[in-house]
């Protein structure tokens, strides 16, 4: 029961797929006054990469039903000619696929690393990669939600933010609702979009699905999208009171099981 399928995937005719953080739920209507509008991101992928997403779906379907449905496997060529890698990951993998992919992609940054994630409890590998990026003088910005649905996770997050802020990483809180998107923008050409949060569950416990896209046009669109999100955000407030610090450190001790 602990190994949850957290993937959010739509596959249409084996030709088009949608991957990202968007669930199917009434919460996206913005009717909950405590949370309000849900800010999320999905990406549409056309062409052969969709079949890699379809393979992820059929593996999950077979596990749930012990049945393999008939699906189209003839590749449909898109005219965009964009490089896309579909990255599924989960606790059944021989290695920690999602954690390693985040670590590797962060390490590719040379000028800019912008991240949006609703939950921020990174493991040691990701922490080290973020610290190294900041020490190299890279523009590292991390967008988190101001509103949260888990107060213990929020306390643990504050402890990580306090530590990483000392290295020059800029943290922001999204104000216009609940920020649920999982997006990473690296320099001028790499975009990482999917279901994986930067927390322990996504990095090693959940079954996740992300898409890594190498495309300057896509990166430019994501840049404009995130710039608009930053305009609706404010710097993450750092609280240094004795009791608050104690609570955040206690919450961080629980982070491996959150």
Identify the residue with better confidence: 208 or 242. 208
Q: How confident is the model at residue 189 (pLDDT cuts 50, 70, 90)?
A: very high
- Tell me which DSSP letter residue 223 carries: H
pLDDT beyond 90 at 248? no
pLDDT beyond 70 at 255? no
**Residues catalogued as catalytic:** 6, 8, 13, 180, 182, 187
pLDDT recorded at residue 251? 65
Across residues 200-211, what is the average pLDDT? 94
pLDDT recorded at residue 149? 67
pLDDT recorded at residue 21? 96
Is residue 78 classed exposed, middle or buried when 0-12, 13-18 and 19+ CB atoms within 10 A define those classes? middle
Between CA 106 and CA 109 the distance in angstroms is 6
Over the stretch 84-110, which tens digit does the pLDDT of each residue have? 999 999 999 999 999 999 999 999 999
What the chain holds in terms of domains, given with CATH numbers, is: 9-257 (3.30.870.10)
- Tell me which DSSP letter residue 151 carries: H
| Structure-token pair, residue 110 | 């040379």
pTM for the model stands at: 0.93
Over the stretch 46-55, which tens digit does the pLDDT of each residue have? 999 999 999 9
Across residues 154-172, what is the average pLDDT? 91
pLDDT beyond 90 at 59? yes
């Amino acid at each position: 029961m602990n190994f949850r399928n957290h993937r959010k995937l739509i596959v249409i005719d084996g030709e088009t797929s949608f991957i990202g953080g968007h669930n199917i739920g009434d919460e996206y209507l913005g009717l909950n006054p405590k949370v309000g509008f849900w800010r999320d991101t999905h990406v549409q992928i056309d062409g052969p990469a969709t079949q890699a997403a379809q393979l992820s779906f059929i593996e999950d379907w077979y596990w749930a039903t012990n049945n393999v449905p008939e699906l189209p496997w003839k590749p449909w060529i898109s005219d965009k000619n964009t490089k896309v890698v579909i990255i599924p990951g989960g606790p059944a993998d021989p290695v920690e696929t999602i954690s390693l992919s985040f670590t590797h992609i962060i390490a590719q940054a040379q000028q800019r690393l912008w991240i949006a994630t609703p939950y921020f409890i990174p493991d040691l590998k990701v922490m080290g990669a973020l610290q190294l990026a900041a020490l190299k003088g890279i523009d590292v910005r991390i967008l988190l939600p101001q509103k949260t649905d888990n107060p213990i996770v929020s306390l643990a997050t504050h402890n990580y933010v306090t530590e990483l802020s000392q290295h020059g990483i800029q943290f922001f809180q999204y104000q216009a609702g609940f920020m649920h998107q999982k997006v990473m923008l690296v320099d001028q050409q790499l975009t990482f979009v999917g279901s994986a949060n930067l927390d322990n569950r996504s990095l090693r416990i959940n079954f996740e699905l992300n898409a890594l896209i190498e495309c300057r046009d896509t990166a430019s669109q994501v840049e404009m999208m995130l710039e608009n999100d930053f305009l609706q955000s404010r710097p993450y407030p750092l609280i240094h009171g004795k009791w608050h610090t104690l609570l955040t450190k206690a919450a961080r001790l629980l982070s491996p099981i959150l």
